[in-house]
Amino acid sequence: MTSRTESEDMSTATPTRAPHGDVPTGHRTAEGRAGAGLFDPGQLVRSLPDALRKLDPRVMVKSPVIFVVWSGSVLTTVFSFTDPGDLFGWTISAWLWLTVVFANLAEAVAEGRGKAQADTLRRAKTDTVARRLLDGGAEERVPGTDLRIGDLVVCETGDVVPGDGDVVEGVASVDESAITGESAPVIRESGGDRSAVTGGTKVLSDRIVIRITTRPGETFIDRMINLVEGAARQKTPNEIALNILLASLTIVFLLAVATLPPFADHAGTQLTMVVLVALLVCLIPTTIGALLSAIGIAGMDRLVQRNVLAMSGRAVEAAGDVSTLLLDKTGTITLGNRRAAEFVPVGGATEAEVADAAQLSSLADETPEGRSVVVLAKERYGLRERHRGELVHAEWIAFTAQTRMSGVDVDGRKVRKGAAGAVTDWVRERGGTVAEDAQSAADRIAAAGGTPLLVAVEDTDGARALGVIHLKDVVKDGMRDRFAELRRMGIKTVMITGDNPLTAKAIAEEAGVDDFLAEATPEDKMALIRREQAGGKLVAMTGDGTNDAPALAQADVGVAMNTGTSAAKEAGNMVDLDSDPTKLIEIVEIGKQLLITRGALTTFSIANDVAKYFAIIPALFAAVYPGLDKLNIMALSSPDSAILSAVVFNALIILALVPLSLRGVRYRPMSADRMLRRNLTVYGIGGLIAPFVGIKLIDLLISLIPGL
Amino acid sequence: MGPVLAGVLQLLALMGALALAYIPLGNYMAKVYSSDKHWRVEKWIYRSIGAHPDTEMRWPAYLRGILAFSVVGVLFLYLLQRLQGVLPGSLGFDSVSPAQSFNTAVSFVTNTNWQSYYGEQTMGHVVQTAGLAVQNFVSAAVGIAVAVALVRGFARSRTGELGNFWSDLVRGVTRILLPGAFVAAVVLVACGALQNFSGIHEVGQFMGGSQQWNGGAVASTEAVKELGTNGGGYFNANSAHPFENPTPFTNLFEIFLLLVIPFSLTRTFGVMVGSVRQGYAILATMATIWVGFVALMMWTEFAHHGPAFEIAGGAMEGKEARFGVGASSIFAVSTTLTSTGAVNSFHSSFTGLGGGITLLGMQLGEIAPGGTGSGLYGMLIMATIAVFIAGLMVGRTPEYLGKKIGTREIKLAACYILITPALVLVLTAVSMALPTPPNSMLNSGAHGFSEVLYAFTSAANNNGSAFAGLNANTDWYNTMTGLAMLLGRFLPMVFVLALAGSLAEQKPVPATAGTLRTEKPLFTGVLVGAILIITGLTYFPALALGPLAEGLAS
């Protein structure tokens, strides 16, 4: 936790969080990155060579359903060679091969998007020369690949950081755009939570000494390249489970088709190998079998597009299952800084007097809180903003941790603003009094979750308190709705804050979170996660500090901020390059979308089979059992055309669904019941009907071709 | 009153009776399997077999209990038949041949009750009563025990323990099946079913000639035959025989008996997992399929084709005039959607489509409502698969009743659904392809094929009914249907118990608004759809060449 603010303190420290935390729903797609945006048909063409390379049986065998199609294609092709005049056999073989190629294409396109990104990353990883520090302070120049854990290296203006590590000496501004896509430089300094530097980033100014923390080849950028290229991709548990189900369905259909020849013999007809393979390929769940791995890769890719790196696909799946979200208050639920909301006069002063004094005392205060006082005075009381230059004789008193107040001495008038205790002491030292209602006003503000700042003045009338500034946490726009949405999705939100319980409660109520953890220590957080997990819940959280690391490791989805320490990044299973804690919500949605896409296409794939039977069974057997022609409800033109249409539809539907598998099924937060009803209608009922229409249309086209 | 109306009214009466029994029987069975008290007679049994009824078993131990018990059962029945000739009470019948003894022993131990023999011409009182009837009780109790173990898997967490097989087995007999069968037998006797130990009578026939009648403990066998979804008739004519099923009332009563435990077990399930609404959802799924099949069957059997049908009011060939088309349709659907296999009419004589409905009923895996116990666990497996697909569509990795359906769970469920299709299709194909087995077919063409398909469908799904026509008393059919029955019964149990063990070890996932609501009608719809599509797709080609070819011919 870095943004803990003591309510008595007037926080003047620079906020450690990146400023774009202010946008609750937004995400940037970094410029110059590949794979963003909508599906481009050109990708299909570009990925074709990769798809053809995947026809290697050693690759094919990894996808059992498509391997069966591949084997079928080989079989029919061999049989076609034995009967070269059989145009039907050749056509079926060709379409079966196309089915395999389309399946490979889906995967190749998904991988291709990552490859482009990996290339960008590789450019950042050009061979660097490191300046290694030797004992005694001398330097030697060694290739970056020779660095070992624990080595100390020096980087100065213009140097590329040779490897991942922590800054142990100095401060520097670093350009991390190679990794994050964000061009604004960031500050990296020794000690604290901003000490981590990443290999491949560039030092823009100053000199730092870095202790290397990873071996060459295992750096963050290496892992990123592996991830986006899919080289490190392992099948996730749910994907494995689905593959098992698909394999068992394939076996069932294999049995149904393999046992058919003796049945047909008895009926007095012979089935050719080509027809049997065609029937088998139509029945096994080729659609989902072809798209399954593309869906997985695309899910990871959607995260990458949002600048989130998942260290394992398992974490993406877990994100869909999350039922408790731990959200840091500052930067996630509230804007990073408190803002002045009202001026409360005390002891007979007027509001205008308070506003005037408050504005004066804040002119030199460049903290967001200070600026907000000036803004409020202008907006509410029409006080023109004065500039420091206008007040020539002014002596500006800066905030220090000792005095805990700031202000200005000008024209014999002394104005102070600060923590109530400090300002009260200041007034009393000068023989003045603090009106009784000042304390009650401060208490009231504190009770409402705000921070009171006392404003006092010493002038010819003596020292006295004028009023109280009400600083309050501002809940970001739309957060209430967002949490209500999450609640409908069955996700409980817990706000984590260092504030006292009173303040925390007030903000929690305003933001509409389900629960809060006040005065949170890392141990409290850990205990909360354990408690939720003991109840069977999956917990997601974000964190950036080293003291967050144990909780990040314990959480089912731990998103480390890229600005955070390397310990935090090691512990989490995702890294957010934008360091935007709000993104946790998007990560959950991406996880759900991945699972929904899998389920929807599986349902679609299985529902498709019904129509294919109605095409193929009458085509095979109506000659011997004319009654079966009643099943030819699509009125397909000929048996050959019926079988071919089913095969063609089966191949084309894969191609047609590639964009959907890459983009993911449209996801909107809603209850499970509504979501199921919607997806069942679209992909279940739709999956039943679509092939009837599709096969009929293809049949119409085929019947126009002479010779078939 | 027309025959159609009569059929519909009988169906409604049946549904009313089942509804009345549902809650009391379901709750009672939940209590039976949750109670920690033993009856005195049960304690004697435990002591005599050396069982410790309070020891919790993990799934391998539970399975070992079932397998040991069943092996002993098969051996005992086999020897009893092989030695019939030297035992008293044989009514003078010889010992049964080895192949047929094996087949019959397996058949009764697996709750199939496939009969390749004529009861009244093969089995004496001792084999019928001390052998076959005993298995009618215990094989049904084994089925319920496995279902209860699976339910415990859902209900329990962070333990691998599934209960005690011996206790579940004994209680199923002493507390459910024996009292139930006793009451049912009294009702049947009161309505005219036979119950004695008399010998063979030579009776003169109306039109001249003579015929032989046996006596026997028919009513009591009949009671447990239906209540335990066994189906093995005392007589070859099974429930079409007036000694077994004398009146239209007993007919309806027998249908009630064979449905009441499988349907009520969904209540037991609901109570034991702590949500009766989950039980209702499973009940609704079973009831939807059952009612749908009955309606289809009545439609196809009442449809009039030709003058003979019109005079009879439907397809009356092979149906008892006492029961008519309506009651025969309800019986045929109920016996094939459970694992009963008792028949009050000849499924071979149904219309082509009607025969197809009986076939498809069994091919669904007999889960609507299915056999005693086996129906519930079969349905829960299908629910697991439906949850896996539908669950993904709500954006979570799938979970059912608070348990994650992960890799291990789906692997076991997938193995389960592979077994019966593999047995049915492969054995049918081999029987059609080899030179001699096809000689058993009475008919040629589509109907002949249906006979073979029906035999293996019935055996592998542990139904036991036969599509009359096929001569199944050959070495090939006795051996192969025997294998189908054995593997079709015990392999699925292995996977069910392993799944139960895996579920019981999990910690429960709390339900949230993001959880798939499996107690809602929408899920029932998904489940019905998944069952019909997945099984429909598996058997469609085979059905097309049998009943569909026949039924669509005209």
| Interface check A45 vs B, CB under 8 A | no
Q: What token pair was written down for A529?
A: 């996660």
Question: pLDDT (tens digit, 9 = 90+) per residue, A431-441?
Answer: 888 888 888 88
Q: Which of A603, A628, A671 sits opposite B549 (nearest CB)?
A: A628
Residue A63 C-alpha, separation from nearest chain B C-alpha, in angstroms: 16
Q: Do B389 and A671 touch (CB under 8 A)?
A: no
> The tokens 């019939």 sit on which residue?
B84
B95 DSSP assignment: P
The Cα–Cα gap between A342 and A376 comes to 8
Q: Is A257 on the interface with B (CB under 8 A)?
A: yes
Mutate to test the interface with A, among B359, B387, B396, B423 (most CBs of A within 10 A): B396
CA distance A170 to chain B (A): 47
Cβ–Cβ of B429/A263 closer than 8 Å?
yes
The continuous run of DSSP H or E covering A475 comes out as: strand A462-475
* pLDDT tens digits along A666-675: 888 888 889 9
Contacting residues of B for A261, CB less than 8 Å apart:
429
Q: Report pLDDT digits (tens) over A391-420.
A: 777 888 877 777 788 888 887 888 998 888
Which are the contacts of B320, defined by CB distance < 8 A and separation ≥ 6? B240, B328, B344, B345
pLDDT tier at A9, thresholds 50, 70, 90:
very low
Enumerate residues 6+ apart whose C-beta is below 8 A from B248: B10, B322, B323, B324, B327
Residue B470 counted as domain residue: yes
Distance from CA of A476 to the nearest CA of B (A): 25
Least confident of A577-581, B353-357, B422-426: A577-581
Flag whether residue A606 sits within 8 Å of chain B, measured between CB atoms: yes
Least confident of A306-315, A386-395, B64-73: A386-395
Between the two ends of chain A, the Cα-to-Cα distance in Å is: 72
**pLDDT score of B554 more than 80:** no
What would the mean pLDDT of A561-590 be, rounded to a whole number?
Answer: 82
Structure tokens at B264: 């009520």
Q: Residue B312, class by beta-carbon neighbours within 10 Å (0-12 exposed, 13-18 middle, 19+ buried)?
A: middle
Q: How buried is residue B317: exposed, middle or buried, by Cβ count under 10 Å (0-12/13-18/19+)?
A: middle
Sign, CA dihedral A491-A496-A502-A507, equals negative
Pairing of strands A557-561, A574-576: parallel
What percentage of chain B carries pLDDT values higher than 70? Answer: 98
A491 lies within 8 A of chain B by CB: yes
Q: Say which range, A435-439, B330-334, B377-381, has the weakest mean pLDDT.
A: A435-439
Min mean pLDDT across A538-542, A605-609, B310-314, B445-449 is at B310-314
Nearest residue of chain B to residue A322 (CA atoms): B396
A254-303 per-position pLDDT tens digit: 999 999 999 999 999 999 999 999 999 999 999 999 999 899 888 888 88
Q: Which chain A residues are Cβ-neighbours of B429 within 8 angstroms?
A: 258-259, 261-263
Nearest to A490 among B514, B537, B549 (CB): B514
Q: Which residue of A has its CA nearest to B511?
A: A490
Q: Which of A74-88, A116-130, A524-538 has the lowest mean pLDDT?
A: A116-130
pLDDT of residue A14: 34
Stretch A169-198: mean pLDDT, rounded? Answer: 79
Residues in B closer than 8 angstroms to A535, CB to CB, are 510
Is the Cβ–Cβ distance between A512 and A488 less than 8 Å?
Answer: no
Stretch A157-182: mean pLDDT? 83
The dihedral sign for the CA sequence B93, B99, B101, B104: negative
Question: Average pLDDT, stretch A86-104?
Answer: 94
- CA dist B500 to B415, B497, B543, Å? 14, 5, 33
Q: What is the DSSP letter of A520?
A: -
* Out of A253-257, A473-477, A508-512, B49-53, least confident range: A473-477
Residue A184's SS3 state is coil
Answer whether A537 touches B (CB < 8 Å). Answer: yes
Tokens of B109: 């131990």
Contact status of A535 with chain B (Cβ, < 8 Å) = yes
| B539/A256 touch (CB, cutoff 8 Å), yes or no | yes
Per-residue H/E/C for B423-463 = HHHHHHHHHHHCCCHHHHCCCCHHHHHHHHHHHHHHHHCCC
Residue A625 has its nearest CB partner, among B392, B430, B446, at B446
pTM of the model: 0.87
Given CB atoms, is A623 within the 8 Å cutoff of chain B? no
Position A20 scores a pLDDT of: 37
Q: Is A291 on the interface with B (CB under 8 A)?
A: no
Mean pLDDT across the stretch B22-33?
97
Which residue, among A244, A275, A314, A590, would best test binding to B if mutated, counting the most B CBs under 10 Å from its CB? A244
H or E segment to which residue B267 belongs: helix B248-272
For residue A343, the Cα-to-chain-centroid distance in whole angstroms is 41
Q: Do β-strands A462-475 and A451-459 pair in parallel, antiparallel, or remain unpaired?
A: antiparallel
Supply the pLDDT for residue A21. Answer: 34
* Strand (E) or helix (H) holding B70: helix B59-82
User: Does A22 score more than 60 pLDDT?
Assistant: no
CB-CB neighbors (< 8 A) of A596 in chain B: 392-395
**CA closest to A598 among chain B residues:** B392
CB contact under 8 A, A628 and B410: no
Is A708's pLDDT higher than 60? no
Q: B513 vs A264: CB contact, 8 Å cut-off? A: no
Inter-chain touch B414–A683, beta carbons under 8 Å: no
**Among B15, B372, B339, which Cα is nearest to B177's?**
B372
For A213-262, the pLDDT digits (tens) are: 888 777 777 877 777 776 556 788 899 999 999 999 999 999 999 999 99
Q: Taking the C-alpha atoms of A623, A628, A629 and A631 in order, what is their torsion angle to the nearest 10 degrees?
A: -150
Contact B433 A265 (CB under 8 A): yes
Please report the pLDDT score of residue B163 as a whole number: 95
ipTM score for this prediction: 0.93
Whether B509 is in a domain gets the answer yes
Q: Name every chain A residue with its beta carbon within 8 A of the beta carbon of B522.
A: 673, 676-677, 680
Q: What digits encode the pLDDT tens for the residues A362-393?
A: 887 777 788 888 888 888 887 777 776 677 77
Q: Does A633 touch chain B (CB under 8 A)?
A: no
Q: Model confidence over B259-295: pLDDT tens digits?
A: 999 999 999 999 999 999 999 999 999 999 999 999 9
- A578 reaches B (C-beta below 8 A): no
Which of B298, B309, B343, B359 lies closest to B547 in space, CA to CA? Answer: B359
Q: Do A487 and B533 touch (CB under 8 A)?
A: no
DSSP state of A685: I
CA distance to partner chain A, nearest, from residue B23 (Å):
28
Burial degree of A41 (CB within 10 A; 0-12, 13-18, 19+):
exposed
> How far is residue A324 CA from its own chain's centroid?
16
Beta strand pairing call for A171-175 and A202-205:
antiparallel
Tokens representing residue A91 in the block: 């056509």
Rounded to an integer, what distance in angstroms lies between the CA atom of residue B148 and that of residue B138? 15
Facing A595 at nearest CB: one of B395, B522, B536 = B395
Question: Is residue B475 assigned to a domain?
Answer: yes
The answer to whether residues A310 and A298 touch, using CB atoms and an 8 Å cutoff, is: no
In a domain, B40, yes or no: no
Per residue in B382-437, pLDDT (tens digit) is: 999 999 998 899 988 899 999 999 999 999 999 999 999 999 999 999 999 998 88
Which residues make Cβ contacts (< 8 Å) with residue A423, sequence separation at least 6? Answer: A405, A416, A417, A453, A454, A455, A456, A465
**pLDDT tens, B534-553?**
988 899 999 999 999 998 88
Tally the domains of chain B.
1
Q: Please provide the average confidence, as pLDDT, over all residues in chain A.
A: 84
| Residue B507: closest C-alpha in chain A | A536
Mean pLDDT of A439-447: 85
Q: Which residue in B396, B426, B548 is closest to A255 by CB distance?
A: B426
Least confident of A593-607, A694-708, B64-78: A694-708
- Name residue, tokens 């490897």: A163
Other beta carbons within 10 angstroms of residue B50's beta carbon come to 7
pLDDT at site A16: 34
A490 within 8 A of A512, measured Cβ to Cβ? no
* Among candidates A238, A628, A677 on the partner chain, residue whose Cβ is nearest the Cβ of B548: A628
Alpha-carbon distance of B103 to B112, in angstroms, equals: 10
Contact B396 A677 (CB under 8 A): no
- Between chain A and chain B, how many beta carbons pairs sit less than 8 Å apart? 223
Average pLDDT over residues A317-329: 87
How far apart are the CA of A270 and the nearest CA of chain B, in angstroms? 13
Q: Which residues contact B459 (CB under 8 A, 6 or more apart)?
A: B112, B114, B423, B480, B481, B482, B484, B485, B488
Alpha-carbon distance of A360 to A341, in angstroms, equals: 17
> Residue B473 in 3-state DSSP?
coil
From B534's Cα to the closest Cα of chain A, the distance in A is 8
Tokens of B125: 């009182």
Point out the residue among A237, A248, A323 whose CB comes nearest to the CB of B418. Answer: A248
What pLDDT score was predicted for residue B139?
Answer: 96
Note down the domain range covering B464.
376-553
CB contact under 8 A, A238 and B392: yes
Instruction: Give me the long-range contacts of B503-506 (CB less than 8 A, separation at least 24).
Output: B503/B150, B503/B153, B503/B154, B503/B403, B503/B409, B504/B152, B504/B153, B504/B156, B504/B157, B504/B159, B504/B160, B504/B161, B504/B162, B505/B157, B505/B158, B505/B159, B505/B160, B506/B157, B506/B158, B506/B403, B506/B404
**Which pair of structure tokens corresponds to residue B286?**
């079973």
- Residue B533: which of A257, A488, A606 has the nearest Cβ? A606
The contacts of residue A288 (CB under 8 Å, 6+ apart) are A65, A242, A246, A598, A601, A602, A604, A605
Chain A residues touching residue B533 (CB < 8 angstroms): 606-607, 609-610
pLDDT of residue A6: 36
- A630 and B507 within 8 Å at the Cβ level: the answer is no
On whether any CB of chain B is under 8 Å from the CB of A252, the answer is yes
- Residue B442 banded pLDDT, cuts 50, 70, 90: confident
Please give the pLDDT value at position A31: 35
Nearest to residue B460, comparing CAs of B438, B476, B478, B482?
B482
CA distance B3 to chain A (A): 29
In a domain, B385, yes or no: yes
Whether A234 contacts chain B with CB within 8 A: no
Q: CB-based contact (8 Å) between A588 and chain B?
A: no
B5 or A205: which carries more pLDDT confidence? B5
Average pLDDT for B289-309: 85
CB proximity A468 to B under 8 Å: no
Residue B251 maps to a domain: no
Least confident range from A448-457, B177-186, B285-294: namely: A448-457
Asked if the structure places residue B452 within a domain, the reply is: yes
Residue A93 pLDDT more than 90? yes
Tell me the per-residue pLDDT of B205-253, one tens digit each, with 9 for 90 and over.
777 777 777 778 889 989 999 999 998 888 888 898 888 999 999 999 9
Catalytic residue list of A? 328
Angle value at C-alpha B224, between B219 and B228, nearest 5 degrees: 155
Confidence of residue A35 (pLDDT cuts 50, 70, 90): very low
Is B160 a domain residue?
Answer: no
Contacts A673 to B, Cβ<8 Å? 517, 520, 522
User: Do B351 and B343 form a contact (C-beta atoms < 8 A)?
Assistant: no
